[in-house]
Amino acid sequence: MALRHLPKTLALIPDGNRRWAARNKLSVLKGYNHGVSKFIDFSEWCVNEGIHNITVWAFSSENINRPKREVNALFGIYEKAATDRELMERIHENKMHINIISNPAVMPKKLVSILSRIEEETAQYNDNVINMLLGYGGKADIEFAIEKMKKLKNFSVTEFSRNLMSKAIPNIDMIIRTSGEMRLSGFMPLQSTYSELYFSQKLWPDFTKKDFDLAIAEYGRRERRFGK
């Protein structure tokens, strides 16, 4: 693919799993299962294209307000995926470091423990990073940093950034959101300041390699001025 430039850091808001399940007369659980599998494909597309830092919003702080049965089912899917041998083999084959950014207050301890183990097992990989946001929200991220900095008399934007829940994630070059929703919903307010936004009409489980190529091609055509 001949492009002027590629995003070095790419973020994904994989929206539309529930609507996809309803459209295909499947359970919500199966919709999310397909979504998780699709993300593994997506991460491989990125690595093969030369994009080595990916952030996915796997579960927002607002998602906890969904029906309890659905929330617990989603947590169960993540647990299952994290212990799936085939999926883990693909992660190791692609030498992907899984970096978990989570809010322990809204996440089950068992899931946090399982994901933390994967984080440790993949810490040896430096070339490819997948930042997984769980129980994350932009407002909660800001509140988290403010709480940590209450005792400081003077602080800068740089110091504030160092205290975010998402401090390990660099500024994001491109954000892809699926399902036709054209908003960021509070996603990473600091790191997304100059992000290029791309909204796909496809529901996340229907998002294909061709759709990915179209998004990356669109990024390659844009001229980034950063306010200059």
Per CATH, the architecture of 9-218 is what?
3-Layer(aba) Sandwich (3.40)
How much is the pLDDT for 150?
87
Give 116-138 pLDDT, tens digit per residue: 999 999 999 999 999 999 999 99
Segments making up each domain of the chain, as ranges: 9-218
Token duo for residue 6: 């590629």
Counting DSSP H helices and E strands in the chain, the numbers are 8, 6
Q: What is the pLDDT of residues 154-182, one digit of tens each?
A: 788 888 999 999 999 999 999 999 999 99
Mean pLDDT of the chain: 92
Confidence of residue 190 (pLDDT cuts 50, 70, 90): very high
Confirm if 165 and 144 have CB atoms less than 8 A apart.
yes
Pairing of strands 196-199, 9-13: unpaired
What confidence score (pLDDT) does residue 69 get? 87
pLDDT in tens, 191-203: 999 999 999 999 9
Q: Which residues contact 175 (CB under 8 A, 6 or more apart)?
A: 10, 11, 12, 13, 184, 187, 192, 195, 196, 197, 198
The pair of three-digit structure tokens given for residue 8, joined into one six-digit string: 């070095």
Q: Is the confidence at residue 2, as pLDDT, over 60?
A: no
Question: Strand 196-199 and strand 128-136: pairing?
Answer: unpaired
From 43-47, 69-73, 186-190, the region with the lowest mean pLDDT = 69-73
pLDDT at 3: 53
**Catalytic annotation, residues:** 15, 63
CB 213 within 8 A of CB 30: no
The token pair that represents 169 in the structure block:
């994630």
Tell me what percent of the residues of the chain surpass a pLDDT of 90: 70
Tokens 């980034």 belong to 224
Q: What is the pLDDT of residues 13-36, one digit of tens each?
A: 999 999 999 999 999 889 999 999
> Which H/E stretch holds residue 44?
helix 28-49
User: Locate tokens 């829940």: which residue?
Assistant: 165
| pLDDT digits 0-9 by tens, 96-113 | 999 999 887 788 889 988
1 pLDDT more than 60: no
The residue count of the chain comes to: 228
**Residue 159 CB contacts under 8 Å (≥ 6 apart), including other chains:** 149, 152
Q: What is the pLDDT of residue 188?
A: 95
